[in-house]
Amino acid sequence: MRAETHGEEAAARPEADEPRTQAPSKADRLVAMANQIARELAPQGEERAVPQIADHMRQFWDPRMRARIRDHLAQGGEGLGPLARQAVGRLG
């Protein structure tokens, strides 16, 4: 058995000194999903893309997901891109 001091243990395990990162929140995941949909539809132009993004969310997102992203927008909508933000605003 080898005796190690606390400092040597930490050096042997560099992750011990690194700050822990939190897993993305549900809102973060929904924001990422909304922005991904928006990126895919953006080439169609704002006028066509925004309603299509909102329609996609209505068709494929669970009502709880839609409620959570609407709440996120009501709290400032951090991270939502412009097209996604407009689409979420249309979910009403």
- Token pair belonging to 61: 């997102």
Query: Does any domain span residue 43?
Result: yes
Query: Does any domain span residue 37?
Result: yes
Question: Which amino acid makes up residue 50?
Answer: V
Query: Does any domain span residue 16?
Result: no
Check: CB of residue 34 under 8 Å from CB of residue 53. yes
Query: Does any domain span residue 15?
Result: no
The DSSP letter of residue 62 is -
pLDDT at 23: 73
pLDDT at 15: 52
**pTM, whole model, 2 decimals?**
0.74
Residue pLDDT, tens place only, 33-80: 999 999 999 999 999 999 999 999 999 999 999 999 999 999 999 999
Query: Does any domain span residue 74?
Result: yes
Neighbours of 13 (CB within 10 A): 10
Whole-number CA gyration radius for the chain: 21
Closest to 33 (Cα-Cα) out of 74, 59, 65 = 65
Give the C-alpha separation, 77 to 70, whole Å.
8
pLDDT at 25: 87
Query: Does any domain span residue 31?
Result: yes
Instruction: Identify the band that residue 92 occupies on the pLDDT scale cut at 50, 70 and 90.
Output: confident
Query: Does any domain span residue 9?
Result: no
Q: How many domains does the chain have?
A: 1
Query: Does any domain span residue 5?
Result: no
pLDDT at 6: 52
